[in-house]
């Protein structure tokens, strides 16, 4: 049973959101004003709209729900359907108001929308009604691109959703998922699941824009616990529509543009439905079936439902047009009348109806039998019902059987598809193997002769197998060629048989040519790609090979680096210890010799540290080279993978293109067959028409004669009618001239008004854009002012005082403030212009203006005049458009030519780039080959260096042991030297006493310079014998011990400095030489600045050669002989290691002075035999050569004769064997 109620209008609630930050930054102003205490809104200055509820921007969500939505929930429990519909522009707050983005975390927040609050209120009411049993089911769908998608279904493609109409229940959705919920938490989880599956995207107007219409439906069924047959059903639809949008504002492209078009199409249909339902004229057609959205909302709009529309608008003046359209649609929706009824369970209603019918029949039966009911009343089922039940059972069984067969067929189809894929893969592998066999078979060998020459049976069998394979390959290739030839012949025959129109053949040829060119282009690209890929792979292999060879070197270098770092650390520690010892030794004068040795050791350590650091740098560079090679290899591998993917895509594209071409060819063949069939039918129809034509021509010939007579009679009647019509036209034209002028004037005004309106809209958009730019400039200036980034433009480079800087900062702040004020003034001016234009547009585009426009045309004559005028204007505009199109076409042609040239240039550039890339790859390959060669050479050099280091380390150990022995001998010599000096002092004292005694006895006169102190024992210089009487002796000079120490240290230091500067080490060892008989002038040497080529040179004048004592330049001197010096001829021999030695030892003349120092002994004497003073002083015979002689010891005196003048005297003193260490030279260790 259904209860009918009076028509109830759709209730409309207007909700205005506040300005968003983007609109505020663009300088937008409020275009809506609200009347306090009244549900009324004013647009502009005087255009007002009244609704059931109006909520200003300050209204909270809770107030909106309690005021507008909560009353609908009470009706739901009474059995009425209800709908809450959110409508408006995109970004106007529809999803926010409905709660479409709700999650469980927002449960207690004040921003919760309508849907979560509805769920809470429903379950609160259910808890209150304990005498009812409730069953709740929820469903959630969206309409995306005019397709219905189930948001609660895990797989949207699982079921097909269709819309059906039930005469009892209204609109039903078949295939939609409905979930039964028991508590509010289950309902909220379903809502969250649907919200997560809903289609949302970002546009220029809204970062979270809904791209679909969403409908969340709650089905409520309630039964009384006392009466199970009494039940009610109701549905609550909560609809969140997608917003209408303009492509110019949203800047949508691609999928977003397609979505926007479908959204606007659905909303247009909804607007048409609202307009049709809100029309005052009853009985009009309502286009519910134009879209799926209006089909689903059929009950909500004009049907069985209490409906609330929440119209969401934006208050910004930049959205005034969209806001005005929303307000107009909402005003029309208020005129829609719904007829809601209480929804009783149809089964319960049918049961009650049948019970009433049974009662009525029983009453009638009692009346027919006189008040008594017969006892034997048996109810038998009818034969028709039995047959229908049997038929139904058989159909059910057949359906189950077919369903099982369908599932089995689907499984077999899936298996066959897998087999097909596997077969294709196996086919590709077999083709690859066949190609390999062809390549192997390409080398044409005379296998028969090879079999005859072979003796091994197994080899003969293998050769026979190869022959069989070659024959098989040849047969397969012949069969393939034959099949291809047959297919080509068949295709040629089919093409020859087909007779198509010229246009079809031309299009087919064009498509075939295009396909062939495309295939050729892709083949060319594939060949080039394969070449580049081969080059890249070869380069990668080469670099990988280099990398593999670098790997052991890298490990070796890492170990070497660690060892060298440890050695450097140890040497640094030793250096620091030596420096400390040197500093300590400088304070002690007695340890001068020891400090000298430590200083030499310190310099050696510094040299070793520098060499080790150099080796560290070189090995670090090689490690960096290894890392760069690894990066290059990884980059090449990545490029190879990309090129392989590109090759696969290209091959797939070629395959798809070939498949498309095959399908196109097949389609064309079918069309040709159909055309041939149609041609045969046309031939048959043509013959049939020819026969009919013959029959009709006979009939017409007979009737023509009859028509000729009738035509003669008609001519007279037509002439009379023409005369009457001419008279009527003359009378009408007199009255038409005034009507045409009036209509023309009115249409001109209307067109001018419409053009002015469109221009005003364009100017309005320009003003809005200008204000947006001004607002952005103001925001930037404010940020600049707040952050303090206000440097004055182009400050000169000078020093500013604090007051000047503050003044400049204040001036810049003032200038920024002035700029902001001027820009804000300009924005206010733009806002005033925008408001004025919008008000004028509102006045010009009033809702009644289209009706008034067409009311001025009342008669057919006025319509004809208006049409004639409009046609003339249209023709003139068309001519102008054609001119513009022709010029545009010419421009496009020139542009196409330029694009073609650009395309050719790009192709040329691509070819050059490919060649350069190939050249680069070749150069890189050559570089890698050179690197490989250098690496091999480096390994060889490292092996040689390692061997050399081993030999040097052995020599170093020997030298160290020898040096240790020498240190011990030097200590002994130092003790002997001290004893010798003590004896010399005693001897000098005795001599002085003897001299004093002789003087006292007047036997000898004491010279003035002989009265010396006992401490200056070495100051005495005995009188020199005459040069003519001296045959051969050493030069003697008077100097003390400190001079000897200084000379020795200076010579050693100069020798070490010379070794550091000289690149080629001098392996000659210095030894004292015999002195020849020379004059005093020859000993001094010459001091020439030139070549010593004339007799101005003292040495040439004396007929002698220049020597080491000469001050002339040895590189320019022409008075020098190879292998001789001023002191004597030295003969040198070269040993196995390239060092030179003096062959003849120094001969000491007997009878020399007793005061010759101990160091005058030759360095070949055994130092440990000098422990006795008597043996040192006697010097009768030269000692035997020492086994500890070091051939590696180098001289220090002969290499520095050309240095500065102050050091020559001391060098000559060292050369004359007067120094303590003149017979010894510092040990030079070979650098490792």
Q: Which two tokens stand for residue 80?
A: 């009425």
Q: Are 222 and 134 in contact (CB under 8 A)?
A: yes
Q: Can you name the residues that pair with 9 across neighbouring β-strands?
A: 337
Buried b (16+ CB within 10 A) or exposed e, 94-122: bbbbbbbbbeeeeeeeeebbbbbbbbebb
Give dist(CA 944, CA 940) in Å, integer: 6
Tell whether 370 is in a known binding site: no
Q: Is 1102 helix (H, G, I), strand (E, B) or coil?
A: coil
Q: What is the C-alpha to C-alpha distance for residues 414 and 409, in angstroms, rounded to an integer?
A: 9
CB 85 within 8 A of CB 239: yes
Give the number of other Cβ atoms within 10 Å of residue 593's Cβ.
16
225 is in an annotated binding site: no
Task: Name beta bridge partners: 244.
Answer: 89
Residue in 56, 557, 549, 558 with CA at minimum distance from that of residue 312? 56
Residues 1132, 1068 contacting (CB under 8 angstroms): yes
Q: Structure tokens of 994? A: 């003897």
C-alpha–C-alpha distance, residues 1219 and 548, integer Å: 61
Is 93 annotated in a binding site? The answer is yes
136: exposed, middle or buried (C-beta count within 10 Å: 0-12, 13-18, 19+)?
A: buried
DSSP string across 811-829: HHHHHHHHHHHHHHHHHHH
CB of 536 within 8 A of CB of 640?
Answer: yes
Structural contact between residues 14 and 329, judged by C-beta atoms closer than 8 angstroms: no
The reply, when asked if residue 95 is annotated as ligand binding, is: yes
* Burial of residue 683, with CB atoms counted within 10 A of its CB: 0-12 exposed, 13-18 middle, 19 or more buried: exposed
628 vs 633: CA distance, rounded Å: 9
β-pair partners for 214: 142, 240
Partners of 50 in the β-ladder = 40
Closest CA to 304 of 149, 166, 194: 166
Where are the alpha helices (H) located in 1113-1221, listed in sequence order?
A: 1173-1178, 1208-1215
Query: What H or E segment, with its residue span, contains residue 144?
Result: strand 132-144
| CA dihedral angle for residue 19, residue 21, residue 23, residue 25, rounded to 10 degrees | 140
User: Would you put residue 1033 in left (φ > 0), alpha (ψ -120 to 50) or beta?
Assistant: beta
DSSP track, 977-1035: HHHHHHHHHHHHHHHHHHHHHHHHTTSSPPPGGG---TT-GGG--PPPPPTTT--S---
* Of residues 49, 80, 43, 94, the one with CA closest to residue 310: 94
What is d(CA 54, CA 353) in angstroms, rounded to the nearest whole number?
46
How far apart CA 117 and CA 219 sit, in angstroms, is: 16
Whether 318 has a binding-site annotation, put simply, is no
- The residue written with tokens 């609202």 in the block is 274
Which residues have CB under 8 Å from 438's CB, separation 6+?
A: 473, 477
Tokens, residue 966:
């020498």
C-alpha span between 1154 and 1174 (Å, rounded): 11
91 among the known binding-site residues?
Answer: yes
Q: CA 1180, CA 1182: separation in Å to the nearest integer?
A: 7
The C-alpha atoms of residue 606 and residue 738 are separated, in whole angstroms, by 121
Among 446, 448, 440, CA closest to 469: 440
89 among the known binding-site residues? yes
Count Cα neighbours of 737 within 13 Å in the Cβ-side half-sphere. 5
Residue ranges of the annotated binding site for ATP are 88-95
Residue ranges of the annotated binding site are 88-95
């Amino acid at each position: 049973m259904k209860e009918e109620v009076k028509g109830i209008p759709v209730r409309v609630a207007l909700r205005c959101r506040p300005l968003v930050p983007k609109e505020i930054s663009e300088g937008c102003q409020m275009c809506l004003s609200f009347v306090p205490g009244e549900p009324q809104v004013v647009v502009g200055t005087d255009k007002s709209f009244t609704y059931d509820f109006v909520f200003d921007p300050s209204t909270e969500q809770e107030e909106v729900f309690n005021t507008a939505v909560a009353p609908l929930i009470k009706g739901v429990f009474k059995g009425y359907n209800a709908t809450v519909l959110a409508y408006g522009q995109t970004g106007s707050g529809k999803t926010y108001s409905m709660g479409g983005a709700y999650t469980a975390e927002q449960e207690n927040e004040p921003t919760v929308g309508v849907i979560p609050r509805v769920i809470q209120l429903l379950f609160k009411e259910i808890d209150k009604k304990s005498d009812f049993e409730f069953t709740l089911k929820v469903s959630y769908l969206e309409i995306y691109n005019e397709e219905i998608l189930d948001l609660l279904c895990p797989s949207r493609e699982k079921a097909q959703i269709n819309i059906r109409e039930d005469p009892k229940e209204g609109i039903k959705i078949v295939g939609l998922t409905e979930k039964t919920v028991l508590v509010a938490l289950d309902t909220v989880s379903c809502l969250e699941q649907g919200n997560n599956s809903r289609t949302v995207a970002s546009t220029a107007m809204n970062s979270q824009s809904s791209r679909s219409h969403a409908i969340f439906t709650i089905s409520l069924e309630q039964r009384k616990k006392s009466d199970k047959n009494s039940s009610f059903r109701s549905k609550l639809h909560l609809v969140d529509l997608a917003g209408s949008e303009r492509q110019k504002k949203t800047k949508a492209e691609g999928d977003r543009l397609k979505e926007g078009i479908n959204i606007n199409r659905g909303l247009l249909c909804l607007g048409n439905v609202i307009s049709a339902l809100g029309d005052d004229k009853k009985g009009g057609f309502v286009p519910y079936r134009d879209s799926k959205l209006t089909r689903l909302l059929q009950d909500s709009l004009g049907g069985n439902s209490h409906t609330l529309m929440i119209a969401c608008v934006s208050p910004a003046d930049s959205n005034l047009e969209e806001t005005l359209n929303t307000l107009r649609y909402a005003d029309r929706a208020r005129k829609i009348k719904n007829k809601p009824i209480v929804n009783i369970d149809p089964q319960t209603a049918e049961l009650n109806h049948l019970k009433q019918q049974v009662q009525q029949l029983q009453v009638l039966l009692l009346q027919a039998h006189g008040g008594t009911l017969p006892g034997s009343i048996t109810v038998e089922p009818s034969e028709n019902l039995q047959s229908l039940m049997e038929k139904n059972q058989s159909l059910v069984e057949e359906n189950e059987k077919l369903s099982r067969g369908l599932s089995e067929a689907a499984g077999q189809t899936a298996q066959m598809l897998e087999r097909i894929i596997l077969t294709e893969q196996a086919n590709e592998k077999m083709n690859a193997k066949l190609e390999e066999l062809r390549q192997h078979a390409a080398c044409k060998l005379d296998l028969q002769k090879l079999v005859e020459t072979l003796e091994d049976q197994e080899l003969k069998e293998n050769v026979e197998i190869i022959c069989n394979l070659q024959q098989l390959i040849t047969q397969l290739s012949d069969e393939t060629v034959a099949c291809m030839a047959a297919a080509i012949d068949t295709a040629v025959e089919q093409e020859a048989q087909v007779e198509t129109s010229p246009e079809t053949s031309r299009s087919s040829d064009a498509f075939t040519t295009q396909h062939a060119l495309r295939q050729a282009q892709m083949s060319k690209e594939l060949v080039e790609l394969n070449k580049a890929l081969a080059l890249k792979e070869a380069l990668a292999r080469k670099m990988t090979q280099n990398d593999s060879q670098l790997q052991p070197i890298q490990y070796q270098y890492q170990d070497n680096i660690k060892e060298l770092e440890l050695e450097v650390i140890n040497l640094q520690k030793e250096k620091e210890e030596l420096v400390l010892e040197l500093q300590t030794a400088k304070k002690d004068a007695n340890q001068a010799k020891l400090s000298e040795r430590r200083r030499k050791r310190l310099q050696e350590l510094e040299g070793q540290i520098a060499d080790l650091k150099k080796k560290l740098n070189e090995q670090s560079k090689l490690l960096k080279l290894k890392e760069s090679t690894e990066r290059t290899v990884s980059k090449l591998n990545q490029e190879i993978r990309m090129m392989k993917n590109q090759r696969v895509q290209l091959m797939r594209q070629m395959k798809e293109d070939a498949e498309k071409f095959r399908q196109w060819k097949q389609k064309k063949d079918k069309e040709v067959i159909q055309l041939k069939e149609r041609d045969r039918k046309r031939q048959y129809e043509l013959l049939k028409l020819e026969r009919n034509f013959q029959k009709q021509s006979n009939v017409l010939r007979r009737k023509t004669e009859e028509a000729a007579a009738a035509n003669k009679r008609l001519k007279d009647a037509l002439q009379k009618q023409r005369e009457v019509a001419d008279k009527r036209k003359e009378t009408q034209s007199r009255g038409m001239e005034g009507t045409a002028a009036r209509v023309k004037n009115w249409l001109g005004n209307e067109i001018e008004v419409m053009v002015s309106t469109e221009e005003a809209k364009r100017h309005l958009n320009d003003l809005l854009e200008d204000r947006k730019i001004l607002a952005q400039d103001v925001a930037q200036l404010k940020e600049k002012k707040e952050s303090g980034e206000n440097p004055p433009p182009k400050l000169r480079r000078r020093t500013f005082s604090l007051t000047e800087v503050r003044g400049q900062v204040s001036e810049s702040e003032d200038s920024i403030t002035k700029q902001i004020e001027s820009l804000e003034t300009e924005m206010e001016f733009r806002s005033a212009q925008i408001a004025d234009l919008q008000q004028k547009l509102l006045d010009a585009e009033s809702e009644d203006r289209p009706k008034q426009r067409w009311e001025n045309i009342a008669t057919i004559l006025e319509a004809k005049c208006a049409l004639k005028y409009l046609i003339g204007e249209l023709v003139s505009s068309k001519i102008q458009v054609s001119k513009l199109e022709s010029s545009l076409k010419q421009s496009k042609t020139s542009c196409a030519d330029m694009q073609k040239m650009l395309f050719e240039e790009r192709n040329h550039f691509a070819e050059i780039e490919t060649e350069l890339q190939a050249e680069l790859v070749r150069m890189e390959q050559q570089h890698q080959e050179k690197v490989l060669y250098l690496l091999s050479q480096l390994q060889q050099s490292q092996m040689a260096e390692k061997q050399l280091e081993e030999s040097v380390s052995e020599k170093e150990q020997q030298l160290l042991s020898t040096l240790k022995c020498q240190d011990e001998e030097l200590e002994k010599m130092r003790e002997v030297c001290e004893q010798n000096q003590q004896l010399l002092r005693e001897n000098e004292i005795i001599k002085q006493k003897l001299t004093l005694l002789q003087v006292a006895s007047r036997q000898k006169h004491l010279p003035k310079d002989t009265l010396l102190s006992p401490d200056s024992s070495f100051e005495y210089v005995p009188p020199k014998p005459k040069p003519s009487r001296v045959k051969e002796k050493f030069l003697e000079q008077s100097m003390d011990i400190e001079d000897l120490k200084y000379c020795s240290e200076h010579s050693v230091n100069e020798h070490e400095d010379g070794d550091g500067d000289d690149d080629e080490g001098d392996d000659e060892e210095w030894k004292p030489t015999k002195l020849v008989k020379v004059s005093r002038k020859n000993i001094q040497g010459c001091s020439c600045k030139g070549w010593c080529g004339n007799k101005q040179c003292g040495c040439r004048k004396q007929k002698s050669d220049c020597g080491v004592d000469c001050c002339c330049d040895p590189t320019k001197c022409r008075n020098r002989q190879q292998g001789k010096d001023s002191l004597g001829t030295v003969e040198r021999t070269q040993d196995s290691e390239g060092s030179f030695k003096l062959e003849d030892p120094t001969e000491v003349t007997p009878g020399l002075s007793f005061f010759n120092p101990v160091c005058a002994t030759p360095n070949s004497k055994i130092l440990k035999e000098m422990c006795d003073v008597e043996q040192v002083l006697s010097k009768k015979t030269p000692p035997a050569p020492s086994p500890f002689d070091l051939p590696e010891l180098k001289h220090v005196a002969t290499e520095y004769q050309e240095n500065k003048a102050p050091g020559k005297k001391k060098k000559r003193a060292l050369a004359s064997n007067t120094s303590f260490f003149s017979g010894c030279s510092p040990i030079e260790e070979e650098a490792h």
